[in-house]
A and B are shown apart, each in its own frame.
Chain A
């Protein structure tokens, strides 16, 4: 069975990153290593070449005996084993230099001859690695010029060790780190999956835990929660609509049914039937009007219609509504005063905004006694646009204002026409526009304020 850890993509990712990391550490080190070692090599080689050239000139100038003198002179200090000089005869027997005998068991590498020597330094026997160049001089003699390359080897070994450690460290920290990290991440994914499972099983109120680090997981959880909230709101909206449709359309439908039944039972002549049918028709219209209003409210509450939003001048929309209602206001012996700021641009749904404003004006007319004045203002206040419809009628008591926004809520008597859906629509349209709806006291009267964002 493969372990969960190996299956987790996080672990695989962290492994991959560790490898990439290791390679990226190794790469520069290898380069540095190569550069350092080869530059030392170049220096050594150049020194050997220069030395050899010098000795060859000496040979030309002073002949064989002279060369022996020079070599002897250069190897006068027995402690100096850095530079190796050795002059041998045709049988490779020593003539001069700081080697006891011609080196054997060395290796030829290109034009370089590599070998090891044993020396006694400070009473200790040490081994030295020598790189050398051999010239055959007419005679024939053999001239060997070499350099101790153990310093170079030391550098090389240091760098190699460093690379080794770095790699070991990269892998040693990277793999457990990756495992730890993937454990942590796995745990959080598991928690999200577990929550999702619970939601799936019907506990729709469950939400993802959101930490306070604001990292990707917190953001993921937040978006999931936002999505769940929205689904919840949509479902609640849908349920309330169907509940209220079921509940509130039931009574007018019952009424309608009774009326028809009664007509069938009691009507004597066509006139009776005609009367009953006409009444039934107007009952039906009532139901339809209610139904349409409910649908509009439900759709706005469910955030439908946001795609239809555009940049609109709220002032123009409001002016249109004022103009639509003006004759009615005057007919009721009232007055409507509009004060509208220019360029009150908002992102909005023109029709729904107009309908919401119309409902507010409608209420102001309906609930104010005649002779009163209605004030409609649209004001631009910084980043906000405030639309106010104020009347000086009875207003709504402070503790009933929240309630007045509910569906089918009618606070005043039954004598005024209406279904109690007007303010529900205003509230839903406000929500759709991410606007705030305030119902305030106009002392006396109601002041309804819609606060929208300036676009």
Chain B
């Protein structure tokens, strides 16, 4: 996939490009807001990674301009401004995701993959299924191998999130944001407890577990 990185700090950009290339992407880089915006509007990319504080035009303005010109390419803002209000402002400007610096590379790649594999447009699905696990989004019911699974509303949303990101790594922060809409990290790791409960419900008694822990990154749900 083709990714455009708009980032003025050379070291940060270098690290980012190297990592993304290793993950198999083609990466272009612009040091300057104006050039970056020019490249973004004139060439086809699958993802933009934009810093907020840039020479020329700042990152939020770039996002706004692109969105006002109907460029629908996913945008990930990468910024040193990492407070809740900064995030909210970033997402409001039209970006799809916001990651504050410094970040763990696993967090970045998880988010990049999620954005790249995002199905264009929110297609209105009524059922999700991974292997023998099925989720009825209308009736809000789950079954595994035909057997009904009792889920609390939040567990249902957690599972829905995992299934929509089938085969991808989702981090704890992504889950907190995507399922709970919390943009802070609780002091104690509560996500793991939720995950282990969900696991109990959908994997216990089946020889092929669907939920896997990805060390140092998060979780993934996939059909082996």
Question: Chain A: residues with CB nearer than 8 A to chain B?
Answer: 284, 288-289, 292, 295-296, 299, 304-305, 308, 320, 323-325, 327-328, 331, 349, 351-352, 354-355, 358-359, 362, 365-366, 417-418, 422
CB distance from A296 to the nearest CB of B (A): 7
- Contacts A327-B193, A327-B194, A331-B193 given: A358-B85 contact, CB under 8 Å? no
Q: Could you say which of B7-15, B27-35, B114-122, B179-187 contacts chain A?
A: B179-187
- Contacts A308-B85, A324-B190 given: A355-B184 contact, CB under 8 Å? yes
List 8 tightest A-B contacts by C-beta distance, closest first: A327-B193, A351-B84, A355-B184, A362-B187, A328-B193, A358-B186, A328-B190, A308-B85
Is B24 part of the contact surface with A, judged by Cβ < 8 Å? no
Q: Chain B CB within 10 Å — which of A284, A351, A362, A417 has the most?
A: A351
Q: Which residues of B contact A422 (CB under 8 A)?
A: 187
Q: Which residues of B contact A417 (CB under 8 A)?
A: 187-188
**A351 contacts B183, C-beta separation under 8 Å:** yes
Q: Which residues of A contact B197 (CB under 8 A)?
A: 327
- Contacts A296-B84, A308-B88 given: A327-B187 contact, CB under 8 Å? no
CB distance from B204 to the nearest CB of A (A): 15
In angstroms, Cα B85 to Cα A320, docked, is 20
Q: Which residues of B contact A352 (CB under 8 A)?
A: 84
Q: Which residues of A contact B183 (CB under 8 A)?
A: 351
Is B82 part of the contact surface with A, judged by Cβ < 8 Å? yes
Partner of A296, one of B83, B88, B194: B83
Q: How many residues of B contact A (CB 8 A)?
A: 19
Given A296-B83, A327-B197, A351-B182, 19 new contacts (CB under 8 A): A299-B85, A305-B84, A305-B85, A308-B85, A324-B182, A324-B186, A324-B190, A324-B194, A327-B190, A327-B193, A327-B194, A328-B188, A328-B190, A354-B182, A355-B184, A358-B184, A359-B187, A366-B188, A417-B188
Is B154 part of the contact surface with A, judged by Cβ < 8 Å? yes
Number of A-B residue pairs with CB-CB distance less than 8 Å in the complex they form:
59
**A288 contacts B182, C-beta separation under 8 Å:** no
Q: Which residues of B contact A327 (CB under 8 A)?
A: 190, 193-194, 197
Is B102 part of the contact surface with A, judged by Cβ < 8 Å? yes
In angstroms, Cα B23 to Cα A171, docked, is 90
- A331 (CB) vs chain B CBs: closest residue: B193
**B88 contacts A418, C-beta separation under 8 Å:** no
- Contacts A305-B85, A308-B88, A327-B194 given: A365-B182 contact, CB under 8 Å? no
**A299 contacts B83, C-beta separation under 8 Å:** yes
Partner of B188, one of A295, A351, A362: A362
CB distance from B80 to the nearest CB of A (A): 11
Q: Which residues of B contact A359 (CB under 8 A)?
A: 187
Question: Chain B: residues with CB nearer than 8 A to chain A?
Answer: 82-85, 88, 102, 154, 180, 182-188, 190, 193-194, 197
**B180 contacts A325, C-beta separation under 8 Å:** no
15 inter-chain pairs at a CB distance below 8 angstroms, sorted by A residue, are A292-B82, A295-B83, A320-B180, A327-B190, A328-B193, A351-B88, A351-B183, A358-B186, A359-B187, A362-B186, A362-B187, A417-B187, A417-B188, A418-B187, A422-B187
In angstroms, Cα B17 to Cα A359, docked, is 38
Q: Chain A CB within 10 Å — which of B154, B180, B190, B197 has the most?
A: B190
In angstroms, Cα B187 to Cα A349, docked, is 19
In angstroms, Cα B180 to Cα A325, docked, is 12
In angstroms, Cα B154 to Cα A320, docked, is 10
- B104 (CB) vs chain A CBs: closest residue: A285
In angstroms, Cα B86 to Cα A299, docked, is 12
In angstroms, Cα B183 to Cα A354, docked, is 10
- Contacts A288-B102, A328-B193, A331-B193 given: A365-B188 contact, CB under 8 Å? yes
In angstroms, Cα B182 to Cα A320, docked, is 10
Q: Which residues of A contact B88 (CB under 8 A)?
A: 308, 351
Q: Which residues of B contact A328 (CB under 8 A)?
A: 188, 190, 193
CB distance from B5 to the nearest CB of A (A): 22
Q: Which residues of B contact A304 (CB under 8 A)?
A: 85
In angstroms, Cα B80 to Cα A288, docked, is 12
Q: Which residues of B contact A295 (CB under 8 A)?
A: 82-83
In angstroms, Cα B180 to Cα A422, docked, is 20
**B190 contacts A325, C-beta separation under 8 Å:** yes
- A330 (CB) vs chain B CBs: closest residue: B193
- A327 (CB) vs chain B CBs: closest residue: B193
In angstroms, Cα B83 to Cα A337, docked, is 31
CB distance from B153 to the nearest CB of A (A): 9
Q: Which residues of B contact A355 (CB under 8 A)?
A: 182, 184, 186
In angstroms, Cα B105 to Cα A284, docked, is 14
**A324 contacts B180, C-beta separation under 8 Å:** yes
Q: Which residues of A contact B194 (CB under 8 A)?
A: 324, 327
In angstroms, Cα B83 to Cα A292, docked, is 8
Q: Which residues of A contact B182 (CB under 8 A)?
A: 324, 351, 354-355
**B184 contacts A351, C-beta separation under 8 Å:** yes
In angstroms, Cα B10 to Cα A352, docked, is 34
In angstroms, Cα B101 to Cα A284, docked, is 13
- B189 (CB) vs chain A CBs: closest residue: A328
In angstroms, Cα B82 to Cα A365, docked, is 28
**B190 contacts A296, C-beta separation under 8 Å:** no
CB distance from A7 to the nearest CB of B (A): 47
In angstroms, Cα B203 to Cα A205, docked, is 65
In angstroms, Cα B100 to Cα A296, docked, is 14
Q: Which residues of A contact B180 (CB under 8 A)?
A: 320, 324
In angstroms, Cα B186 to Cα A417, docked, is 13
In angstroms, Cα B85 to Cα A368, docked, is 33
Q: Which residues of A contact B102 (CB under 8 A)?
A: 284, 288
- A295 (CB) vs chain B CBs: closest residue: B83
CB distance from A241 to the nearest CB of B (A): 13
CB distance from B130 to the nearest CB of A (A): 23
